[in-house]
Amino acid sequence: MATSPLRTTTTTLDIYIKLAQYPIASDRIRARMREELFKRGIITEESLEKEVERKAIESQEREGIYDPFSKESAAVFQTRKNRIRDYLTDFYFGYNLPPELFDQLVLASLQHQPEDTTAAELTFNPELAPWPMLFKQGEIYESMPPNERQRFSHHLEEIKVVLIKSMISDQLKYVGIAKNILTIGDLKDIYDRRIGEGKIGGKAAGMLLAWKALQERSPETGPDISDSVVIPESYFLGADVMYEFRRVNGLDHFMNEKYRPLDHIRGAYTGIIQAHMGGNFPDKIVEALRGILKNLGNRPVIVRSSSLLEDNFGFSFAGKYESFFCPNQGTPDENLQALLDAIRQIYASTTNPDALLYRRRHGLLDYDERMAILIQAVQGHVTDHYFFPTLAGVGFSQNPFRWNAKIRREDGFLRLVWGIGTRAVDRVSGDYPRMIALSHPNLRPETTARAIRQYSQQFIDVIDINKNDFATLPAETLLKPSYRELRFVASEDKGDYLQKIVALGGDQDELEYVLTFDTITQDRKFIKLMRTALMRLEKIYGIPVDIEFTVEVKAKYPHPDYKLSILQCRPLSMRADGGKVDLPTDVPPEDIVLHSFHLIPNGRVEGIRYLVLVNPHTYRTIGERHVRIELGRVVSRLNRILEGETFVLMGPGRWGSENIELGVKVSYSNIYNTSALIEIGIATEEGTPELSYGTHFFQDLVEGGIYALPLHLTEAESCLAWDLFSAENNLLANLLPADAEYGRYIQVVDVTAVRPGCVVNLLMDGENDEAIAYFTRATSEWADDDTVSLGNF
């Protein structure tokens, strides 16, 4: 029996009912309806959008939303506007145009399906369209034959740009690269793995872009490494969820912490963490996270920060926000609680003092810094009852440190560890990653077996499956013949020399091993993989990059296979090259403050007025832990009081280390005003102590314009003018009277007081691996001012 069209006495209602029969095609039909309205002059596009905006705000008020910025996310407001736009389209069309025209548009839309190129022209504004509509239209374009697709490439590009800006990042440099690499399918996969509203943040964005870039198979991009590069199974918690979490838990007032004084921020941070830990998530978010854990099974999980500013061009935020490992070996409810706690702590870390100071120093304080969350399966395998990857580390496409003139900077650099990669990015106590110059991977900073043994990795970070916890173990615990990848990561310790492991078997339980990674570094296949990945990413980004990664080694004759997993990729912050630095050759010995000859960066600090020394000799004699901790606080107070002055910090060993036995425990927020940080090595053991390079701490120094300079006093030609730092020259008691008791450990020298009319220049020649600091006559630019005192602050 024939059916008649659905009709009502109200044309607008008739249109609404008719469109309800086409839940997918209705978006395309309404786009054509708006075209007719605009073409016939019934209403302009601009007027329609103004009315949509006004009515959207009115609808918020009707629904009791009087503070839309905190109570409704941008994505929800966009959905609100989309629906109102549809209602207005039906209204204006129904009251101004005949029903027959509507029927014609419906028929035309149904007859010209998307695969027909006559319907491929964009009939809607992508900036205003709902995401499902953009995905569908984008898939139409990408499914076309190449010649046909070219006709609509501009439409496809616009759709991808809108999706990238809305869902991933609105940083234009990133968008400009990503639109040429990510496909609609890639973007749809991100959409399907996203929970809640908002962007997925910088860390997730960089990881995805790097992986996709390394999947390209083209002679123009170099060797095909696509089969050797993967990313972990990943899920994304949208950045707007943080605002929703704070709103429902009454935590919105913490949003303005960033504008408070630094001392207040430091004092309030513990309370902010506690407040966040007591917060609850909306039920829909909790259930979605429960679903993620179900998908991941019992695999360990890492929960990572992915703020909108992280891993940006020029601003890496390295180590500023928290990340947490969740072993994921408990009951489903226990695992879920651990995941929720990790997210809470990451949300709280947006107000941590280092992060806010970093933003303040880089002019980013006014940016709406929202925090997305990246949830990933940890890469690795189980050995005994410990879970860890074979290799992990950080890689740099440019190597600013050359411990040998043969090393080529442009070939890149690795910091490689066995196990979970925390030991590669953080300064940890008594441990050393393997430093690899990719141009000469077997050229080590150390030259003897004793030095290699001393400056090798001593501990391994793992996940203890049985204890459901993150753990740090002595390397020897797992470095045994039964470990299947032993020969790839270790060498036999023969006392006077180290020997490559050729075969396993026999009575080898009594053998001792050293983590050298020599088999790996001697394998051209591994070096080619890492060098190719770094060089290609630098070419695509247009600037140097650094990555965090893991590598699984699969034994295969005659050479193993390697599976590189990209965990993170970001533009590498590098100090601008100030050109060639020529060192003076005629400095009298009595004018030399220091002379150093190993692992020297390139640059200069001129007009230094204050020299601050944490004396390595007296520091070693301190028995009380609290005294060493307090010295870090004294350094922080000096950093504040010397603001505006040109000064350098000098001290023992490894600044920024968690182990106060090895050096002064400080973070970037304690030293950000210094021009240079000089790490003094006075140990008598041979070899070169491992430096900060490649750690998050080092990245802070680079981005803050602070030079990191090693001073190895174990080397014959290196020197420091110890006599300069005498008690009578020490201004600590004058600057900080309350800290006078620490004068035997910290010396502050005013150069202009010791040598009237003089300053100190520090020149560093990275090409020739030499640095010198020396007294020189002050120019008018460095004219003598009044000595700094508490009265100036």
* pLDDT per position as a tens digit, 440-462: 999 887 778 888 888 889 999 99
Amino acid in the structure at residue 447: T
User: Does residue 782 sit in helix, strand or coil?
Assistant: helix
Q: Rounded distance, CA 562 to CA 225, Å?
A: 10
Among left, alpha and beta (phi > 0; psi -120 to 50; other), residue 88 is: alpha
Contact 641, 674 (CB under 8 A): no
Same domain, 659 and 725: yes
Specify the higher pLDDT residue, 381 or 445: 381
**pLDDT value at residue 7:** 38
Q: Which range has the worst mean pLDDT, 161-175, 235-249, 540-554, 653-667?
A: 653-667
Q: Which range has the worst mean pLDDT, 237-241, 439-443, 655-659?
A: 655-659
Q: Rounded distance, CA 523 to CA 528, Å?
A: 9
- List the one residue out of 137, 172, 175, 171 whose CA is nearest residue 155: 137
Contact 666, 325 (CB under 8 A): no
Residue 106 belongs to domain spanning = 11-187
Same domain, 546 and 594: no
Residue 165 binned pLDDT confidence (cut-offs 50, 70, 90): very high
**pLDDT value at residue 254:** 85
Same domain, 361 and 393: no
Same domain, 543 and 628: no
Domain membership of residue 247 (yes or no) is yes
Same domain, 360 and 403: no
Q: Rounded distance, CA 671 to CA 631, Å?
A: 13
Same domain, 78 and 105: yes
For the chain, what is the domain count? 4
pLDDT tens per residue across span 301-344 = 999 999 888 877 766 666 678 889 999 999 999 999 999 999 99
Same domain, 684 and 639: yes
> Is residue 688 pLDDT above 70, yes or no?
no
Amino acid in the structure at residue 284: K
> Is residue 719 pLDDT above 70, yes or no?
yes
Q: Rounded distance, CA 290 to CA 204, Å?
A: 20
Place of tokens 């980013």: 364
Same domain, 445 and 320: no
Residue range 735-762: average pLDDT? 94
- List the one residue out of 754, 761, 753 whose CA is nearest residue 779: 761
Residue range 766-774: average pLDDT? 89
Largest CA distance in the chain: 110
Contact 52, 81 (CB under 8 A): yes
Same domain, 666 and 782: yes
Kindly report the CA angle at 47 between 43 and 49, in degrees rounded to 5?
115
pLDDT tens per residue across span 486-507 = 999 999 998 888 898 876 655 5
Amino acid in the structure at residue 318: A
Average pLDDT of the chain? 85
Q: Which range has the worst mean pLDDT, 67-81, 243-257, 436-450, 642-656?
A: 67-81
Domain membership of residue 220 (yes or no) is no
Q: Which residues pair with 675 in a beta bridge?
A: none
Domain membership of residue 456 (yes or no) is yes
Residue 686 binned pLDDT confidence (cut-offs 50, 70, 90): very low
Q: Tell me how long the chain is.
A: 793
Q: Rounded distance, CA 489 to CA 500, Å?
A: 10
SS3 content of the chain, % helix, strand, coil (to 5): 40, 20, 40
- List the one residue out of 87, 154, 106, 165 whose CA is nearest residue 131: 165
Q: Rounded distance, CA 284 to CA 419, Å?
A: 36
Taking residue 530's Cβ as centre, other Cβ atoms within 10 Å add up to 26
Q: CA–CA distance from 424 to each of 65, 404, 459, 470, 513 (Å)?
A: 48, 22, 12, 16, 20
Same domain, 55 and 145: yes
SS3 letters for 393-408?
A: EEEECCCCCCCCCCCC
Percent with pLDDT over 90 in the chain: 50
Domain membership of residue 221 (yes or no) is no
Domain membership of residue 68 (yes or no) is yes
Domain membership of residue 175 (yes or no) is yes
**pLDDT value at residue 685:** 43
pLDDT tens per residue across span 49-66 = 999 988 988 888 888 876
Same domain, 634 and 676: yes
Q: How many CA atoms lie within 13 A of 386 on its CB side?
A: 20
User: Does residue 513 sit in helix, strand or coil?
Assistant: strand
Residue range 565-588: average pLDDT? 81
* C-alpha of 71 from chain center: 29
Q: Rounded distance, CA 92 to CA 97, Å?
A: 8
pTM for this prediction: 0.73
Boundary (domain end) residue, out of 160, 187, 214: 187
Percent with pLDDT over 70 in the chain: 88
**pLDDT value at residue 578:** 56
Boundary (domain end) residue, out of 320, 354, 378: 378
> Is residue 5 pLDDT above 50, yes or no?
no
Q: CA–CA distance from 619 to each of 225, 268, 594, 629 (Å)?
A: 50, 31, 20, 11
Residue 574 binned pLDDT confidence (cut-offs 50, 70, 90): low
**Strand ranges (E), 578-672:** 592-596, 603-608, 610-614, 647-652
Domain membership of residue 2 (yes or no) is no
**pLDDT value at residue 315:** 67
Residue range 553-575: average pLDDT? 85
Specify the higher pLDDT residue, 558 or 136: 136
Same domain, 441 and 322: no
> Is residue 749 pLDDT above 90, yes or no?
yes
User: Which ranges in 666-712 belong to alpha helices (H)?
Assistant: 668-671, 696-703
**pLDDT value at residue 8:** 39
Residue range 107-126: average pLDDT? 65
- List the one residue out of 144, 102, 103, 101 whose CA is nearest residue 120: 144
List phi, psi (to 5°) of 592.
-80, 125
> Is residue 68 pLDDT above 60, yes or no?
no
Residue range 12-32: average pLDDT? 85
User: Does residue 230 sit in helix, strand or coil?
Assistant: strand
Boundary (domain end) residue, out of 510, 539, 571: 571
- List the one residue out of 722, 723, 742, 725 whose CA is nearest residue 733: 742
Collect all residues with Cβ–Cβ distance below 8 Å to 112 and sequence separation of at least 6.
118, 119
Taking residue 125's Cβ as centre, other Cβ atoms within 10 Å add up to 14
Domain membership of residue 580 (yes or no) is no
Contact 601, 764 (CB under 8 A): yes
